[in-house]
Structures are given as C-alpha cells and as structure tokens.
A and B are shown apart, each in its own frame.
Chain A
C-alpha cells in the first residue's frame, strides 16, 4: 500500500467482476435493502465508495430489452464482507436488482471511487441525506460511531475519522433526512438515534425540505462539517447554503456510468477545474470544487436536473 493509498479514503477493488450471493432482502416502504455476502472479496469498503451491480442471471430482456450495463450504488452498510444496498425500483435495472431473492447471485465490481474524508477539526459532523442518498450516510454514521470497526484496521483515514469525531465530546453526528413521503421515510429506521425528518408531502416529520432542517442546525451551531448525498437540486441547495456560511461540505454526487473505473469517460461532471470523471475522482467531492451541484441538465429541460442514468429509466 502506497502512502497516497493509506491517506486516501479508498479500498482497492480486485480487477475483475465477482459474484456475491444475496443473503437478505428487507422491504422498507418504497425501498428495498438487499444484503449480499461478498465471500473472498477485498477488505471492507470506505464509506462513500460504490459498487457496480448487476444480477448474475436474467440481466437483460427487461423493458426495452434492457438492462445491459451494471448500475452504480454506494453501499449502505458493510460488515465483514456483508454488503447492503438501498434500492428503489425506477427502471429495468433497479427493478431487477430490487427483485433479487435470497441465494441469487449479484455481480459486483468494487469498491470503487473515493469515499468521505474526515470532518474538519473541531466541528461536529452533520449528515444530510435526500431519498436514496441516505445510503452512503448510514455507513458513515456507523464509522463515526466507531461501530463495526476492526481494531486491526488501522488505516490513517479511519483513525483520523474517529479521532476527529471524538475531538468534540458530546457532539454526536446529527442526521437530517428528507424524503418524498412517509413510504420513503421508512429508510430512516436504519439509522441509529433519532434522525430529523422532513418530507415533501408532510406525511412524516417536518413538511418541507431537508435543507430547511440544515439551515436551522447551522443557525444553532455553525461549527459543523456537512456530509450530503441526494438529488442534484438538494445538493445544490446544500452547497449554496454551506458556501454562504463558510461551512465545509462534502457532497456525494451521482452520474450515469457505464464502467465505474475510469474506462468509459461517460460520467464526467463539470467542476471549477473542468470535467472530472466522478467514478475515479469522486463520487465524494469537496463542495468548494463545484460552481454548482446541478450537473448536466438534460437538453431542453429547465431547472436543475441530474444526468443520472445511462438511458431513461435506471
């Protein structure tokens, strides 16, 4: 392991696709949490990294004779080779993945990309999730709490992450989650403690946006490090709010990907330094690197849209 690899929040992936086996499927309202045993896989991933997923059987032949490409997902949890992914069926790929049953094969390549970096010294971590973007915050909460940590795994990043967190006694990470409705908000039950909730329709928690909750948290105590993942309009609101207040923020972005390891050049996002490939230089980016977290807008569409899927319907 090189010095750079010790300090970069990245677990290296084996250079081939492998097959894990689904051990559990849990329905959480609008979402499905699948857990798979990655026997013989690499050491556990860093929070914020991701995997390229495909069903080992019957991948293809769905709507419009798709899916063909694997789909990128951050893990929600990783414990000793057991990987959990939070899924929402919104297209032929995610429908097939969410329909996997216990014992079925899950093709995966990963972990890929660079995960979350430690909070800034002397700040409390604020975890801000929107919808399925809650997933990479769940494993981050686990790690900040020192749960599921192998004491022999003393990578510099992990140590720094825990040390920084303990540097402010009594400042446990706050979790703020926004969902469309109470059916989606069931994913909040995965988190420890009592996450603060907002829903678009008011059916659970506050009737409003997760960024309303974030603004109030920052009003209360601005010495925070923000970790956010969610849809582009939410991330842009988080970016703008944190920039205005001078609060450090890391954003986990999403972009349509074919490969996940830098081969296809399809997942570029515009940054202040030009296009970067989100799969190898992200998916977690420093908010300050972006002019905007509104990524490519679909041509002809107005407003802040993401270029999420390699083809309509993920």
Chain B
C-alpha cells in the first residue's frame, strides 16, 4: 500500500502534510492533550520537550459548552470509555484567550471544529481559517446535524455537503475526522475527498457504554461514551487500511497506538501521519517516545 497524494512516504522522519512541513509524523488526537493545562503542570519544559510534531486542539464549537455531567470516565480492559461532551470556551473565547497561547507551541497548529449545522460549521471554519496561527483545520463530524438529525460523519452525503459548504471559505487545508461508527468509513472518506477535503483522520472513538455494578444503570453521566485505547487498535487499523486504499488524500491514523511498532503498523497500512491519544494519559511524553521508537 502507498501513501496518498499530497505527502511523500516516509519512515518517521520529516514530511509534508498538505503543504505543511512537519518534523515527523506523530500528532495528538484531538481532545487527548491540552497543551495549555499541561504547560501549567510541566512549565516551559513542555515546550522544550514537546511530545508531538503538530498539535491538534480540542474541538471548538460556536457557543461555549460545560460538557457532560460526571462521571465521565470508565476504565475498560486495555482502554477507556469517556463521556466528556466537548467542553470548550466557544469560538470567541478560543480565539481571544487560547489561540495566542497555542501559537507559542513549537509545532504547527491544527484546530478542530464542530458545528451543529452547516451554517455553524461555516462560521467556525471561516473565523478559524483566517488566523495566521492556524496551519490546518480539522472538521469533527461526529455529531448530529440538528437540521437533519443525522450524524454528519456517519453518512457520505451529509459529510460531502458539510465539506462542500466550508471548502470555499478558507485556503487552509481541511482534514475530515472520520467516525468509526459508520456503515462504511471508506465511503464517507471518498465523499469528503470528492467535496474537497485535503486529508482524513481516523478513528474517532467507538461508541460504548458501561453499567454501574451497584445499580445496573449507565455509569457515565452522558449515558454512552467513546471507547479508546489498545482495546480498539485492531478495529482502527483495519479502518485506516480500507480508507487509505479508497482515497488519494493523506490519512492520519490513530486508535490505541502505544508504541513505535503500533505506529509503524498504521503507516504500513497507508497512513501518512499517526496520532497518539489515550496513551498520553498514561505518559505525557508518549508521543515523543513513540516517535523515537519509530525513527531511532
């Protein structure tokens, strides 16, 4: 298998992602690393030993969100279910207070956005895309469109319409973050490519739930959540391989990557970059370790 257009194959060294030069292929999954909070805990040592080659923000929505009521976490065999609910400061809060600080990171910045309608998504892409600090924009389409009730990313036509709506609004490369909770992720990826997406990233979390053993009722405050960690890696690898074969644009692969060997598997399956998510919870330097194991 080969990497798609827009990036050259590599074995862990410098590369080009949709025209943006990266020192290496290891990113963070959106929502799995808060560089601003981490800087409070670790100080400037975080910037000196930054764990990723590009930084992906937590998903920004138009309005601020508090997120789901706790409990938000459940440990599974080799993994985690989270039900966080996209807490964020909203577009204006992000642009005013977070973006200037994120611009101090030593790597290119990818901003993840989610809209609950195509109009919302358009506003987010236009406003985020016009900022010089932002290298790429990622569309999180794992949410229901309030107009149609359909989860955008679960349906090729919905995804295509969303991408087509925002494509003319920015010159920045657009990444579409695919959900594994779709009948055929490769079909959604093709629809995204046809509508003008520059890259796809996958997988988002797999929908899951846990019951409180004392009450047999859902444990998570949000009732259901997303499963991540090594528990989902085999599923993710298959989806990355099918999507990378189906599209010509670069794929960013993720799902339970915890070592250089896992990352190498995703690259061999056709991904151009990989992202580390849950493993960073266990070790904030996991991204750096995986990059070193990938390219000793």
Residues in A lying within 8 Å of B, measured CB to CB:
5, 12-17, 54, 60, 64-70, 107, 109, 112-113, 255-270, 274-275, 277, 280, 295-296, 298-301, 307, 309-312
Contacts and interface: CB of A to CB of B under 8 A. Distances in A.
B76 interface: yes
A17 B79 contact: no
9 contacts: A17-B282, A60-B78, A256-B70, A262-B38, A265-B72, A266-B72, A301-B212, A309-B75, A310-B75
A268 B42 contact: no
Nearest to B82: A266
B45 A12 contact: yes
A69 B46 contact: no
A127 B49 CA distance: 39
B70 A295 contact: yes
B283 interface: yes
Contact of B34 (A262, A274, A311): A262
Sort A-B residue pairs by CB-CB distance and give the 6 closest, nearest first. Answer: A262-B37, A16-B285, A311-B75, A65-B77, A296-B70, A17-B283
Contacts of A309: 75
B151 interface: no
B281 A275 contact: no
B210 interface: yes
Given A265-B67, A299-B219, A15 B49 contact: yes
Nearest to B77: A65
Contacts of A266: 70, 72-73, 82, 84
Contact of B70 (A16, A262, A274, A307): A307
B45 A14 contact: yes
Given A65-B78, A261-B41, A263-B37, A16 B212 contact: no
- The prevalent SS among residues of A at the interface is loop
Nearest to B216: A300
A298 B66 contact: no
A65 B230 CA distance: 12
A263 B67 CA distance: 14
B217 A300 contact: yes
A269 B70 contact: yes
B75 A66 contact: yes
Nearest to A66: B75
Given A15-B46, A267-B73, A296-B221, 4 more contacts: A15-B51, A17-B283, A256-B73, A264-B73
Contact of A12 (B42, B49, B215): B42
B117 interface: no
B144 interface: no
A68 B41 CA distance: 22
B115 interface: no
Contacts of B266: none
B19 interface: no
Contacts of B38: 15, 261-263
A304 to B, nearest CB: 14
B33 interface: yes
A311 B220 CA distance: 10
A298 B212 contact: yes
B205 to A, nearest CB: 12
A68 B214 contact: no
B25 to A, nearest CB: 20
Contacts of A256: 70-73
Nearest to B43: A12
A19 B230 CA distance: 22
A261 B284 contact: yes
Q: Which of B36, B73, B219 counts the most A-chain CB atoms under 10 A from its CB?
A: B73
B78 A112 contact: no
Contacts of A260: 41
B213 interface: yes
B153 interface: no
B74 interface: yes
Nearest to B45: A15
A268 B33 CA distance: 16
Contact of A68 (B46, B71, B80, B87): B80
Nearest to A278: B70
B42 A68 contact: no
Given A68-B80, A268-B72, A300-B217, A263 B282 contact: no
Interface in B261-296: 278, 280-285, 288
B14 interface: no
Interface string B22-55: 0000000001111011101111011001010000
A65 B213 CA distance: 16
B13 interface: no
B42 A296 contact: no
Nearest to B217: A300
A264 B215 contact: no
A280 B37 contact: yes
A15 B77 CA distance: 26
Nearest to B229: A68
A62 B80 CA distance: 16
Contact of B219 (A17, A69, A112, A298): A298
Contacts of B215: 298-301
